[in-house]
Amino acid sequence: MHETLDRTVEIRTFNTISEIEALPGFKKENPVSPKNYKHLLGDYFLSDEVKCCLLKDNDKLCNEGHKWGFVAVLADNSITLVGNDCAQTKFNGESRLSADRTKYLNQKKHEEGLERLRALVEQKDSALKEVLQVRTDLAMVQRRVHAMREKLGPQTMRHLESIARTGAYVLSVTGVTIKEYTDKKGKKKTDRRTQRMTLGTIANTSFLLDEKYRDVLHNLSDVKKAYDEAEKIEQNVTTLNSMLSQKRWISLSWPKQALFNLLNKSESLRAVI
């Protein structure tokens, strides 16, 4: 079942208690319950805890400290605070506050996703310039590596590639001594002895593997595709908002999944640059 987004919900986040206290109608220690709750005015993210004004079954205030919660308007149009934990657990799932909380968080998550998308699109030109520079630098590195491979020869390269793929970084040489001698019966024999000696270790040889460059080039191509996709979605936001102004509800199944995939891809692939 898809979540729905209520475009009539206004997102308003308060970051200081003074902003909330300045609201007309705000009262300290103002009890809120399912009976007198009217609607949400916004949410708060504060550096210091504020006391929750949920009215408990014993007719006492919750008074639990919260840094995140909601600014609620009551039936008498006064304003109070309710912590997120209490809004989530102390109100019945079918209550109005619980439903409003879900709508609010869905809307906020959606708008934050669109904002991140816009930020990515704004960085497109500079990011793609960086991608182009990385591709140029990568091509130069590849030419140097290929020249190195030719100088080292096929046998040495096979050994180095094996080291890179297996992680067996220890380098060793095996010395062989051959001594011919005549035994007591006058027969000629050969004494062959081997001795293995460790020279040291060699790590970070993965740069010699062609597949490493293919992976990077593939990721760089994905960066461009991700930005192209992001730009298309961002351009459609205006059209989408126009449609939403005529319809109160819209399914979040498309934008939620599309934004998740796109933002995931774009942010992770930019790490390649």
Which of 68, 83, 117 is the endpoint of a domain?
117
92-104: average pLDDT: 86
Same domain assignment for residues 41 and 59: yes
Q: Are residues 98 and 44 in the same domain?
A: yes
Note whether 177 and 160 are same-domain residues: yes
Residue-range definition of the domain harbouring residue 9: 4-117
Task: Find out whether 30 and 51 touch, Cβ atoms under 8 Å.
Answer: no
Q: State whether 129 and 262 are in the same domain.
A: yes
Instruction: Average the pLDDT over 146-165 and give the result.
Output: 84
pLDDT in tens, 241-252: 555 555 444 444
For the cut 90, the answer to whether the pLDDT of residue 173 exceeds it is: no
Split into its structural domains, the chain has a count of 2
* Confidence at 222, pLDDT banded by 50, 70, 90: confident
Tell me what the mean pLDDT of segment 202-211 comes to: 78
The pLDDT score that the predictor gives to residue 243 is 55
Residue 17: pLDDT above 90? yes
Question: 156 vs 99, 159, 197, 205, CA distance in Å?
Answer: 68, 5, 18, 12
pTM: 0.58
Q: Are residues 112 and 129 in the same domain?
A: no
